Amino acid sequence: MRPFHTESRFWEPELRPYLIGFLIIGKNHGILARYFYKLSQIIHIIMIRKTGSFTGIASLIVLMVWGTTLRIEAQGSKFGVKGGLNMSYLTVDDADRNRILPGFQIGILREMMLNRTVSIQPEILYTVKGTRTVYDEEILGFEIVDGTTKLGLHYIEIPVYLKLNLVDFFNLHLGPYFGILMFSNMETDAEILGFVELDSVDEIDRDQFNKLDAGLSAGIGFSMDPLFFGFNYGLGLRQVANQNQNLAPLLGDAVHSSFQVYAGLAF
């Protein structure tokens, strides 16, 4: 893993005002858009240092799209923050052995109205996905192993939704998402032969996984200004495991499958 040095441009004085300005919600959407655009550049710097050149380039493309769309002067726009619960698993062949892993998501969004009914909503989220495996093995009535192993994959995820606002308080939304793997870990809590305790949390080399994820997400949303909440389902279209690494035989061509419950505040 590459070290993250404090001399990164993230800390340079000329970038700090944009972090402060990003938190200020003004009437002039053009000014706010410039703060978002600069934020996307800052995040890109972090991505380059955390994920390497290939994924860094991919993140730059996605974030430039984000920054560019924010400069569109639509008929109306809203900025928002959101967070919620992820319930995810990997679509491996041995489905009976895998359980849903609780995770979370948190981030920012911008909704831009194209007309009174249709809008575009890009988001930048930090999200945790993965899977959980349960062990309960017995031989001749003797318990061999009992416990769980959790595989957590931490992403910066950028969904871009096309929203159909059927009425003022209800919408349907659908769109692609792109994910950039930041890090991964495995947590095991098990008891072997009834007396050997195994309790560990280990970071897994990111090279074991595809660093870039992509898929489709769809859901329904409800709004009661300034509050909103909703439900999404996301399905990955890119296999999680790097087929050239050791985890490939275990995970095969598994992709992410996740159900999300979220709530937020719009400005």
For the chain, the C-alpha Rg in angstroms (whole number) is 21
- For residue 54, the model assigns a pLDDT of 47
Evaluate whether 171 touches 163 at the Cβ level (below 8 Å).
yes
pLDDT for 43 equals 54
CATH of 76-266, one of 2.40.70.10, 2.40.160.20, 3.30.465.10, 3.30.1490.20: 2.40.160.20
pLDDT of 99 reads: 81
Distance between CA atoms of residues 108 and 266, nearest Å? 10
At residue 224, the 3 state secondary structure works out as strand
Q: Where are the domains of the chain?
A: 1-73, 76-266
Q: What is the pLDDT of residue 71?
A: 52
Q: What is the model's pLDDT at position 17?
A: 43
Closest CA to 193 of 264, 261, 122, 137: 137
Per-residue pLDDT of the chain (267 residues), as tens digits, is: 444 443 444 344 444 444 444 333 333 444 444 544 555 555 555 555 554 544 555 555 555 555 555 555 445 789 999 999 999 999 876 655 558 999 999 999 999 998 889 999 999 999 999 999 887 766 666 667 778 889 999 999 999 999 999 998 999 999 999 999 999 999 988 887 767 777 888 999 999 999 999 999 999 999 998 999 999 999 999 999 998 888 888 888 899 999 999 999 998
Dist. CA 110–CA 65, nearest whole Å: 13
Given a contact cutoff of 8 angstroms between Cβ atoms, the answer to whether 74 and 114 are in contact is yes
Secondary structure of residue 51 in the 3-state scheme? helix
Report d(CA 4, CA 242) in Å as an integer: 24
pLDDT at 6: 39
Cα(80)–Cα(248) distance, rounded to whole angstroms? 38
Confidence at residue 67, expressed as pLDDT on a 0 to 100 scale: 55
Q: Residue 40: what pLDDT?
A: 55
